[in-house]
Amino acid sequence: MKILVAIAFLLILASLGSALLFLMKDKGKSNRTVKALAFRVGFSITLFILILIAHSQGWIQPTGIR
């Protein structure tokens, strides 16, 4: 489960980085930045739902603050 969350987090960061690259390169003339940010939002929502499902199934446990 930790590996899956780490991969999803890396996808979110990669999408954010590509949006920045498209923003700098295209200077607002194309909609690639919007698509990259939309993918980032989709990845984030998917990760959040995955964490909720994993918690409800007992695959992950909260550890609290120590």
Domain housing 53: 2-57
Residues 6+ apart with CB under 8 A from 37: 15, 16, 19
Inform me whether the pLDDT recorded for 66 exceeds 80.
Answer: no
Phi and psi at 44, nearest 5°, equal -65, -45
CA distances from 29 to 22, 38, 41, 60 (A): 10, 17, 22, 44
66, part of any domain: no
52, part of any domain: yes
Record the pTM. Answer: 0.76
65, part of any domain: no
Specify the DSSP class assigned to residue 1: -
What is the chain's mean pLDDT, rounded?
89
Query: Quick one: angle between helices 32-57 and 2-26, nearest 10?
Result: 170
37, part of any domain: yes
